[in-house]
């Protein structure tokens, strides 16, 4: 995307040099993990670049749509995109085929319109719970009772916080999702527009009720923390805070190790300064961004400062 040169990318290498070009190019790009590797993680890598390209970008991403140890694809549209819009950016997504462990085979298209700049945002007021919703699914040859049990387990552990929980129980279309998988994806939306997410995937030896319960306990933890971002969203916003124009502030619960690592890398590479301030049981992450302007923006290039 940026015409980079890469050196040292060989087996046994102890050092890699990545030298980006001066322009992020519009176009159609394909990335294929050839495994069940997470499509959501491919998105995390590509989006900041695509948003600062010199024209529209289409990403064809192949791998796992619902993978363990990574955000589910629905998380990216329901939770991540919600906060990305606050930075003045968004994306469109089409899921052509779902991919699960171990076969993968998922295929997602992400369409990105570049921005002139990312704007700083303050996400400080959580508000009260307005709704909790989500999906409990089975795919392939797995029976519907697994999806029902995951939904029941989730509601069992969350109902005292919000009794009206809307979990859609479904069997994935065999043409969209031919391989076996089960899981639950849930979202808590608040009166201030914040969204917190939690999910769980079925696996051999795990009772479906327990998968649902675990997702509920994870969501419950983030709700009770009082933060505006869940534990999986904290680290994902760090790069956007660093690039934005102005001072961003985010109220979160406990700072995760992923977030600490993202802050460390951003400060090391971009020469920005993050501040983490304790505020009772929560933490406030703040940063004065770099004010990165897209001087190659297709519609407003002549109006922008000569910096990238």
The residue-averaged pLDDT of 283-308 equals: 76
Asked whether residue 81 falls in the same domain as residue 8, the answer is yes
Q: With pLDDT > 90 as the criterion, what percentage of the chain qualifies?
A: 94
The two structure tokens encoding residue 300: 């407003």
Residues 6+ apart with CB under 8 A from 49: 1, 2, 24
The residue-averaged pLDDT of 32-36 equals: 95
Position 306 scores a pLDDT of 42
The residue-averaged pLDDT of 109-134 equals: 97
Give domain status of residue 303, yes or no: no
Position 63 scores a pLDDT of 97
Tell me how far the alpha carbon of residue 44 is from its chain's centroid. Answer: 7
Give domain status of residue 299, yes or no: no
How many structural domains compose the chain? 3
Cα distance between residue 120 and residue 101, in whole Å: 37
Asked whether residue 9 falls in the same domain as residue 91, the answer is yes
The one catalytic residue among 28, 258, 296, 297: 258
Asked whether residue 158 falls in the same domain as residue 60, the answer is no
Among 78, 93, 115, which residue terminates a domain? 115
Position 303 scores a pLDDT of 39
Question: To the nearest whole number, what is the mean pLDDT of the chain?
Answer: 95
DSSP summary character for residue 34: S
Position 300 scores a pLDDT of 59
The residue-averaged pLDDT of 252-256 equals: 96
Position 1 scores a pLDDT of 93
CATH label of the domain that carries residue 170: 3.30.360.20
Whether residue 126 has pLDDT greater than 90: yes
Query: pLDDT of 195-231, one tens digit each?
Result: 999 999 999 999 999 999 999 999 999 999 999 999 9
Give domain status of residue 185, yes or no: yes
CATH label of the domain that carries residue 286: 3.30.1370
Give domain status of residue 308, yes or no: no
Asked whether residue 268 falls in the same domain as residue 191, the answer is no
Whether residue 305 has pLDDT greater than 80: no
Cα distance between residue 233 and residue 230, in whole Å: 5
Confidence class for position 292, pLDDT limits 50, 70, 90: very high
The residue-averaged pLDDT of 67-78 equals: 96
Asked whether residue 94 falls in the same domain as residue 145, the answer is no
> Following DSSP, what letter does each residue of 196-253 receive, concatenated?
EEEEEE--TT--HHHHHHHHHHHHHHHHHHT-SS-TTTTGGGHHHHHHSBSEEEEEES
Among 115, 148, 173, which residue terminates a domain? 115
Position 304 scores a pLDDT of 43
Asked whether residue 10 falls in the same domain as residue 107, the answer is yes
Asked whether residue 108 falls in the same domain as residue 53, the answer is yes
Whether residue 85 has pLDDT greater than 60: yes
CATH label of the domain that carries residue 84: 3.65.10.20
Query: pLDDT of 129-147, one tens digit each?
Result: 999 999 999 999 999 999 9
Q: Which domain holds residue 89?
A: 1-115
Give domain status of residue 307, yes or no: no
Query: pLDDT of 168-180, one tens digit each?
Result: 999 999 999 999 9
Say if residue 102 is preceded by a cis peptide, omega within 30 of 0.
yes
Give domain status of residue 2, yes or no: yes
Position 298 scores a pLDDT of 83
Asked whether residue 29 falls in the same domain as residue 83, the answer is yes
Asked whether residue 266 falls in the same domain as residue 277, the answer is yes
Position 301 scores a pLDDT of 45
The residue-averaged pLDDT of 81-107 equals: 97
Confidence class for position 299, pLDDT limits 50, 70, 90: confident
Residue 258 among the catalytic residues: yes
């Amino acid at each position: 995307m940026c015409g980079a040169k890469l050196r040292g990318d060989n087996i046994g290498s102890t050092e890699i040099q990545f030298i980006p070009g001066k322009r992020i190019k519009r176009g159609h790009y394909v990335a294929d993990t050839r495994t069940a590797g997470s499509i959501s993680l491919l998105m995390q890598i590509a989006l900041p670049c695509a948003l600062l390209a010199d024209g529209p970008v289409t990403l064809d991403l192949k791998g796992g749509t619902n993978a363990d140890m990574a955000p589910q694809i629905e998380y990216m549209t329901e939770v991540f995109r919600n906060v990305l819009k606050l930075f003045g950016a968004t994306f469109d997504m089409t899921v052509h085929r779902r991919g699960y462990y171990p076969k993968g085979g998922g295929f997602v298209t992400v369409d990105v319109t570049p921005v002139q700049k990312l704007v700083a945002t303050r996400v400080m007021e959580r508000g009260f719970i307005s709704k909790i919703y989500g999906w409990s699914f089975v795919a392939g040859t797995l029976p519907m009772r697994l999806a029902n049990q995951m939904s029941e387990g989730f509601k069992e552990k969350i109902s005292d916080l919000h009794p009206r929980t809307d979990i859609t129980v479904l069997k994935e279309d065999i043409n969209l999702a031919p391989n076996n998988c089960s899981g639950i994806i849930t979202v808590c939306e608040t009166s201030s527009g914040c969204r917190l997410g939690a999910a769980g995937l079925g696996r051999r030896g795990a009772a479906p009720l327990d998968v649902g319960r675990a997702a509920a306990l994870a969501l419950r933890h983030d709700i009770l923390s009082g933060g505006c971002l869940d534990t999986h969203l904290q680290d994902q916003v760090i790069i956007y805070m660093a690039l934005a124009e102005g001072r961003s502030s985010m109220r979160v619960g406990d700072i995760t190790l992923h977030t600490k690592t993202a802050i460390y890398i951003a400060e090391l590479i971009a020469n920005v300064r993050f501040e983490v301030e304790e505020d009772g049981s929560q933490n406030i992450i703040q940063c004065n961004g770099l004010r990165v302007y897209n001087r190659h923006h297709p519609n407003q290039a002549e109006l922008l400062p000569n910096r990238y």
